[in-house]
Amino acid sequence: MKQLQRLCQQEERKLSQLGRQRGEAQQRIESIAQQQRSLGEMLDEYQQYSPKVACSLLLQNSNNLQLALRPMQARLTRQQILLQQEHLRVDGLWRQQLGRQQGIKWLYQKRKQDKIELNNRQEQKQLDDLASRARTNRS
């Protein structure tokens, strides 16, 4: 019974650890998405300069910044894809662990309840035996 209780606690710790990893992966994905939005806004802003309105130096700077930002955007996209795959992997592990932990917890509770019921039956049997002896002695 103690071993099952210990196993149940171990599984809960594993579940908690996977839950933290899952949350951290989700936060990293959200951070990357925010960075991508910021880069996208910057690119949109630099693309808005028209040759009619802007001077050649401003156009050159805008073009250079766009050339610098595009590889950053591509790297962020790759990072986001990898993080999403990692998140899916950890989420799958977390779901497996949740099922395992719940199964072990159910088994532990069942055995604990069975033991209580057995003790109650044994106690009732002892009381019945005592009552039977008491009736026999009165006769």
Q: How far is CA 138 from the centre of its chain?
A: 67
**pTM of the prediction?**
0.71
What pLDDT score was predicted for residue 139?
64
Cα dihedral 96/102/108/113 (nearest 10): -150
What pLDDT score was predicted for residue 55?
75
pLDDT, one tens digit per residue, over 121-131 is: 999 999 988 88
DSSP 88-112: HHHHHHHHHHHHHHHHHHHHHHHHH
What pLDDT score was predicted for residue 63?
81
The Cα 57–Cα 72 span in angstroms is 23
Residue 98 sits in which domain range? 2-138
What is the tally of structural domains in the chain? 1
pLDDT, one tens digit per residue, over 62-83 is: 788 888 888 999 999 999 999 9
What pLDDT score was predicted for residue 10?
93
What pLDDT score was predicted for residue 53?
61
The Cα 67–Cα 53 span in angstroms is 21
Q: What is the pLDDT along the chain (139 residues), one digit of tens a residue?
A: 889 889 989 999 999 999 999 999 999 999 999 999 999 888 888 777 666 566 777 777 878 888 888 899 999 999 999 999 999 999 999 999 999 999 999 999 999 999 999 999 999 999 988 888 888 877 6
